[in-house]
Amino acid sequence: MRVAIIGGGPGGLYAAALLKRLDPAREVTVWERNAPDVTFGFGVVLSDETLGGIEHADPVVHEALQRDFVRWDDIDIGHRGTRYRSGGHGFAALGRHRLLRILQDRCRSLGVELRFATEAPDTGRLSQSHDLVIAADGVHSTTRQTHAHAFGPRVTEHRCRYIWLAADFAFDAFRFEIAETEHGVMQLHGYPFTAGDSTVIVEMREEVWRAAGFDTATPQESVERCAKIFADTLGGRPLRSNNSAWTTFRTVVNDHWSHGNVVLLGDAAHTAHFSIGSGTKLAVEDALALAACLREQPDVRTALAAYEEERKPVVASTQRAARASLEWFENLRLYLDQPPRQFAFNLLTRSRRVTHDNLRLRDARFTEAVEREFGCPAGTPPMFTPFRLRGLTLRNRVVVSPMDMYSATDGVPGDFHLVHLGARALGGAGLVMTEMVCVSEEGRITPGCAGLYTGRQAEAWRRVTDFVHRQSPGTAIGVQLGHSGRKGSTRLMWEGMDEPLPAGNWPLVAASPLPYRPGGQIPRRLSRAQLTDIREQFAAAGWRAARAGFDLLELHCAHGYLLSGFLSPLTNLRTDAYGGSLERRLRFPLEVFDAVRAVWPAERPMTVRISATDWAEGGTTAEDAVQIARAFAAHGADAIDVSTGQVVAEERPEFGRSYQTPFADMIRHEVRVPVIAVGAISSWDDVNSLILAGRTDLCALARPHLYDPHWTLHAAVEQGYTGPGAVWPAPYRAGSRRPRTGRTDDPRPRLTLSG
């Protein structure tokens, strides 16, 4: 086999060494445009997991790395004159020059041909003359650009400028330092990579960078000014450069990683922000996986498919974490006023990879100090602290999210709703929400949707609220009011989600005459008179909700339903007073809010659910969402329930664990209003992490409560918590400990005698 590798960075060199070691008969050639001692940046960080893979795959390389690694466990966070240290994290780093030298030497010892200061031939020629072409040619990959039609690259440029520098001394911990300057906030990321050297990355948003004059500064002036800004951190020592230049981070994603016998590796295939680790780590792991797949599979094409299948999910997970970390630093200014320890905890858990429970294992003393500062009583996890909204105090921070059940008859909730909502109330959540309850017959999504447009429906809901208040005292129950708009008159979800009814369809109304799906029913554009009628329908439903005994009311302005349709520029094309600017698009939803608030008891809270982004070009943005939330808060909303999407059928959501929580976080800190976070929050550890970091006030979970109606009580058991935030109903107390299952071998029988 003849293998051509484009790029002599760590990923390309390590792939070359592995492929040659596994099969000495392979002819492996590496082309690198730079000289062997030319590189950018300074230190490289590798995890213990990656090192374990290297040790298994090539002990020679691992041994050489071990001799040069600098190791440390602590992270220091400096902000406003305080510095907090968290331990137990475990890092290893070495100089980038040294890493390249180790890999170059290993390649030469194995017989790899290294061609430095040489441009690689065209990939078309290489793919004809070689069995495999590995493109490890970096973030600006020529190979990726040349074959963009096959790889499908998407490159996103972000908001911060940063520069890689070094200091001639070794930090004793990973350092995050915050500088608040007259131009804006700047941050330093620093870590040792030899016994006498540290990498120093200085980062700030583009507008701060320009305001500070870095856009016109010479390279040397930039270095000197960075050293001056962070003089306390550096102990007055200077910084040095290695052809360093200010740049913006680019996230690289490819739909496909291979094209014929050409495959992408490392930064050519993907990038992950430096704040969660090294791109070198991902490239080394790519090389390990590619070498393994080539060994295990019968031919190159099958091996490349297996490599992509193995690595893509891992990289996607890393990129989601990196994106969360990157955006946290982009929005750093939002968190500056947090209590110091909470700020530190927020920074440490920003990527969602380090969590409350994980950090407790690493550094229990630090985590307990954060909990005390937050106000957690001893032995109380953050999720079981109370929270007050207007006259309602919730005993914990868990919300059963609204979930459409499509099980009502003529809009009347029945036994199913009593059992469904009653079971979740008995399960310990602080607040249980109904599904979207429709304000009119025409406002239903499906024939199975529940309503509050008749007295009979209100009486049926009273049966549910009475059960919750009587059998689960301390649990609150809330109602979500909404109107389907253009998304109505469809089949039950399990019969065909968003599919029109086969018969008996009713006419739809919306802000503009646009169908939700191509070929779907076209709604009528609402007239001024019809808007008034619908506003009164909402108010009447709110009045019935109060008489039905609900503790909280939420106005549904999300997910493409009627009120959401007014907010999004993709679904509101009106040219009258209810369309055009965001202020005008807000007008009708705010009129509805005011009408409902006027009939809703003053002591009971009212919240609003919004879609913080449409996940579609030209739609609602995060910045718009802040303005929408601010408007509702100004009108008296007690909290904003922050969801995303489902507004247009052509959306492209960025799914992932807790993927919607950054929008809630932004609104909470920009608007200074309580928020409810939703979206793939699946564990009690996630809830504790989000609450303690100050990213949300309440967490709404849907599917976990379908899987386990007693999710909250079980979360308390698993954490050893027995306080007032999670009270087992008296008939269930015997089940408040996990049942033993199967045989146990503890204690073990004595089979030998001693003495």
Q: pTM for the whole thing?
A: 0.91
pLDDT grade for 37, boundaries at 50, 70 and 90 = confident
Specify whether the CB–CB gap between 188 and 233 falls below 8 A.
yes
- The 10s digit of each residue's pLDDT in 284-318 is 999 999 999 999 999 999 999 999 999 999 999 99
Is the pLDDT reported for residue 753 higher than 80? no
- The 10s digit of each residue's pLDDT in 51-101 is 888 888 889 998 999 999 999 999 999 999 999 999 999 889 999 999 999
Q: How many CB atoms sit inside 10 A of residue 384's CB?
A: 29
Residue identified by tokens 């009502």 is 408
**pLDDT confidence of residue 746:** 63
pLDDT grade for 494, boundaries at 50, 70 and 90 = confident
pLDDT grade for 749, boundaries at 50, 70 and 90 = low
Specify whether the CB–CB gap between 438 and 450 falls below 8 A.
yes
Beta bridge partners of 191: 199
Q: Which residue has the higher pLDDT, 499 or 141?
A: 141
pLDDT grade for 747, boundaries at 50, 70 and 90 = low
Is the pLDDT reported for residue 744 higher than 70? no
Is the pLDDT reported for residue 235 higher than 80? yes
- The 10s digit of each residue's pLDDT in 280-292 is 989 999 999 999 9
Domains of the chain (ranges plus CATH)? 2-331 (3.50.50.60), 340-713 (3.20.20.70)
- The 10s digit of each residue's pLDDT in 704-721 is 999 999 999 999 999 999
Q: Rounded to whole angstroms, how far apart are CA atoms 613 and 624?
A: 8
Helices marked H in 177-278: 206-211, 219-229, 231-234
Q: Rounded to whole angstroms, how far apart are CA atoms 700 and 712?
A: 11
Is the pLDDT reported for residue 587 higher than 60? yes
Q: Rounded to whole angstroms, how far apart are CA atoms 274 and 267?
A: 12
Helix, strand, coil in percent for the chain, rounding step 5: 40, 20, 40
**pLDDT confidence of residue 497:** 83
Is the pLDDT reported for residue 278 higher than 80? no
Active site residues: 561
Which of the residue ranges 208-217, 428-437, 439-448, 742-751 would you say has the lowest mean pLDDT?
Answer: 742-751
**pLDDT confidence of residue 655:** 82
Is the pLDDT reported for residue 750 higher than 80? no
* Side chain identity, residue 304: L
E strand spans, 493-565: 509-510, 524-525, 552-557
pLDDT grade for 536, boundaries at 50, 70 and 90 = very high
Share of the chain above pLDDT 90, in %: 87
**pLDDT confidence of residue 613:** 95
Would you state the structure tokens that stand for residue 725, as one six-digit string? 């935030």
Average pLDDT over residues 12-34: 96
**pLDDT confidence of residue 345:** 97
**pLDDT confidence of residue 608:** 98
**pLDDT confidence of residue 656:** 79
Q: From residue 209, how far is each of 186, 202, 243, 251, 670 by CA, in Å?
A: 9, 11, 19, 20, 22
pLDDT grade for 240, boundaries at 50, 70 and 90 = very high
* Side chain identity, residue 138: G
Is the pLDDT reported for residue 722 higher than 80? yes
Average pLDDT over residues 335-345: 95
**pLDDT confidence of residue 752:** 64
pLDDT grade for 45, boundaries at 50, 70 and 90 = confident
For the chain, the average pLDDT equals 94
- The 10s digit of each residue's pLDDT in 372-430 is 999 999 999 999 999 999 999 999 999 999 999 999 999 999 999 999 999 999 999 99
Is the pLDDT reported for residue 739 higher than 90? no
Average pLDDT over residues 632-655: 94
Average pLDDT over residues 719-745: 86
- The 10s digit of each residue's pLDDT in 656-667 is 788 899 999 999
Specify whether the CB–CB gap between 668 and 691 falls below 8 A.
no
Is the pLDDT reported for residue 32 higher than 90? yes
Peptide bond into 747 cis (omega under 30): yes
DSSP class per residue in 190-212 = EEEEETTEEEEEEEEEHHHHHHT
Q: Rounded to whole angstroms, how far apart are CA atoms 683 and 417?
A: 25
Q: Rounded to whole angstroms, how far apart are CA atoms 177 and 226?
A: 12
* Side chain identity, residue 655: F
**pLDDT confidence of residue 48:** 77
**pLDDT confidence of residue 243:** 85
Is the pLDDT reported for residue 751 higher than 80? no
pLDDT grade for 447, boundaries at 50, 70 and 90 = very high
